[in-house]
Structure 1
Amino acid sequence: MTGGIKVKQLRDIPISVLDLAPIKEGSTAADSFHNTLDLARHAEEWGYKRYWLAEHHNMAGVASSATSLVISHVAAGTHSIRVGSGGIMLSNHAPLMIAEQFGTLESLYPGRIDLGLGRAPGSDQAASRALRRGLGSDGSEFPEQLSELRAYFDPNGAGSRPLGVRAVPGEGLNIPIWLLGSSGFSAQLAGQLGLPFAFASHFAPDYLLPALQLYRSSFKPSAALSKPHVMVGLGATAADTVEEARRLATSQQQQFLNIIRGRTGMLQPPVDSMDGLWSMQEKAILQNKQNYSIAGDPSALQERLLQIVEETDADEFIIASQIFDHSAQLHSYELIAQLFKEN
């Protein structure tokens, strides 16, 4: 206790998995889906609360483009872990279709489905044009689309859905909606609507603390939530030694390096050193981007995680871990789970 206020410990904070369903060099999307389900089953066993999958398009190294289908694949192969989207990029879709898809998922797997929503396209410009053909949206209509989507779930028909249009299945179902973001826009909107908020600090660290402050200061209690609820996204790679964890993390660093260079590709094997792969400028940019990405043994992770708890007062963490070797990825998530149980 400090001044009458309980200081959060790691064991007080639920943890979840964010999976991009990576397609690794030399493998296929089918291999990715097999690994995703295997990881989800282990995550359920180790006590993770949620298993979220992200919508991305036109990326050779990401298999979760048809996000709702992969969510169903994971939910069908597990028993109790919550499964959802981290997130669905609403600007790519008609809100009615998302209401029907997630109404179907909730009907198939009751009490286990989360609907996390993002405003960004999750793709490049060419793919965005292909996805949004006929939708007439550039992402600026997100608040209106969100209002329409929420109205489809409302059994009383409140909100901005078209007259006479219903989501079947979907209407009357209680599917938790989260807003996801990497800036202040969704943070403020989530606060004003009284919705839970998840921040992608694993790739937008500079905006994390301002966004959390904006969310909490603008929060208005709602039927969904009585007080602010924040989930912080972290990149984390755990291994038995710091050296091995740092080596494993080079797969994710190579992925970020490709993004910085404006290209995509399959997840690459780890390397002993990134020297020679990046320029000094790229190294500086990437290291700044990874301020909330941790690689180390359990002791090193614990030290940094406790700092992040103090900085953010997070209610939950969601862990993204892009590790090339599947067995090493499983071991990383197991070590992280043990860390949160024991501290």
Structure 2
Amino acid sequence: MSATPLSVLDLVPVPSGSSAADALHATVDLARTVERAGYARYWLAEHHLNPGVAGSAPNIVIGAVAAATSTIRVGSAATLVGNVRGLQIAEAFGTLAALHGPRIDLGLGRSGAPAPGTPKPPAPAPRTDEVVDGLLVPAPYAFRVAPGSRFALQGELLGRVPGDVERFADDLTLVRALFAGTHTVDGAVVEAPPASGAPVELWIHGSTGGESARIAGSLGLPYGANYHSSPGTVLDSVTAYRASFRPGVLAAPHVIVSADVVVGRTADEADELALGYDRWVHSIRSGVGAIPYPTPDEARAHPLAPADAPSVADRVATRFVGTASSVAGQLETLRRVTGADELLVTTITHDHAARVRSYELLAEEWALRSAATTVGAATSV
């Protein structure tokens, strides 16, 4: 079943010894390469105050990528509603569609703190690592925002206020109405050019079986689930989406699932390229901000402290690292277990050329498997 489309998620990582400007130029170069390789979408993430990640202004980077390409769909995964208002989102993506045509995707995600007094959802029952039909689903990671962390500072500098997370549904309704040209105030239609009528494909992204999954399903929108960043809750996420689904924009559920991969020409080369990932993930989860991605030598010289290893174990264990054949096999397992209609691949290495090659090797293997599937299906008819 390898005909499943592959797409790219880019965080715009900054390698050690490099700069944010270098990383942004590398993103444009990578986008051109993966378009030629046959990837379906090129999505940019949104992260702030991270020295090792330059993807803090995805709207601008989307424009640069779209200008450098011609056929691949380009968009965000995800634009966080807690960081910006609905009108600004609609106008920005309407502008991108006006400039680059009907290949712009807008992925929306919820963020922010609940309003004071909001009842807390019941704590989920403790879970342990399990293997589901060949796919490792680790115990969910308990994320906490430490006072004084970069996460707390982000909220302050972005002007977040308690209750932001509750306005997600309202802002989503506004964005959709502005795109459709149906938003009214006192009975009069409010136009917001160039958002009005913009041919933007709207997605909802989520990491759990919570509100994002339920909203996406109830509106019949396509949904993005995160195995790469929250592997312990990916099955909860896609299950909640499908259970909530009602025909709307789509007649049937449609899910894209992300995965973190590194492909090498050999298994040993892939392992070498993957070094440093544990320290990089720990720098994010600990709240100090992503470090510039280390070289393999730097990773060996400064290994992650054993006491910190449990905090990133789920991410390290669910990163697909190896030859193109082995990684493609793991992606097929992910597709089968989650029922994904598309797969979203993110690859981070220190060396840009190695990162480009990883995507190329995977695309070649995926195309071979797709061709074999097509031939097999035709033969069986």
Q: TM-score, normalised by structure 1?
A: 0.90
Structure 1 residue 86: Cα displacement: 0.9
In structure 1, how many angstroms separate the alpha carbons of the residues matched to 2:299 and 2:159? 41
Q: Secondary structure at the match of 2:30?
A: helix
**Mapped contact 2:262–2:347 kept (Cα < 8 A):** yes
- Kept after mapping to 2: 8 A contact 1:95/1:148: yes
Using the TM superposition, give the Cα deviation of residue 267 of structure 1 relative to its aligned residue in structure 2, in angstroms: 1.7
Aligned ranges for residues 1-343 of structure 1 at < 5 Å?
Answer: 9-10=1-2, 12-120=3-111, 124-132=151-159, 137-157=163-183, 165-185=190-210, 186-222=212-248, 224-264=249-289, 265-271=291-297, 277-343=303-369
Distance 1:271 1:287 in 2: 21
Aligned CA RMSD, in angstroms, stands at 2.2
Q: 1:272 to 1:66 in 2, by over 3 A?
A: closer
* Change in 2 beyond 3 A, CA 1:216/1:287: same
Secondary structure of 1:340's match? Answer: helix
Q: Offset of 1:28 from its aligned partner?
A: 1.4
- Partner of 1:308: helix, strand, or coil? helix
Q: 1:97 offset after TM fit, Å?
A: 0.8
Letter in 2 for 1:239: G
**Deviations 1:295-338 (Å, cap 9, x if unpaired)?**
00122213322221221111001111111101000110001101
Letter in 2 for 1:110: G
Residues 243/162 of structure 1: CA separation in 2 closer, same or farther (3 Å cut) = farther
Gaps spanning 5+ residues in structure 2: where?
113-144, 370-381
- Number of the residue aligned with 1:4: none
3-state SS of paired residue (1:124): helix
Alpha carbons 1:152, 1:161 under 8 Å: kept: no
Asked if 2 retains the 8 angstrom alpha-carbon contact of 1:148 and 1:161, the reply is no
Aligned length: 331
Cα 1:248/1:120, change in 2 over 3 Å: farther
CA distance in 2: counterparts of 1:107 and 1:211, whole angstroms: 33
Q: Percent identity?
A: 37
Provide closer, same or farther for how the CA distance between residues 274 and 262 of structure 1 changes in structure 2, counting only shifts above 3 A.
farther
Alignment check: 8 A CA contact 1:22 1:266 kept: yes
Give distance in 2, aligned partners of 1:74 and 1:31. Answer: 15
Task: Give the C-alpha shift of residue 165 in structure 1.
Answer: 3.6
Moved more, 304-313 or 328-337: 304-313
Deviations 1:89-117 (A, max 9, x none): 11111111111100000000111100001
C-alpha separation in 1, matches of 2:299 and 2:152:
33
The separation in 2 between residues aligned to 1:156 and 1:150, in whole angstroms, is 9
Determine helix, strand or coil for the equivalent of 2:200: coil
Whether the aligned pair in 1 keeps the contact of 2:276 and 2:295 (CA below 8 Å) is: yes
> Which amino acid is the alignment partner of residue 102 of structure 2?
G
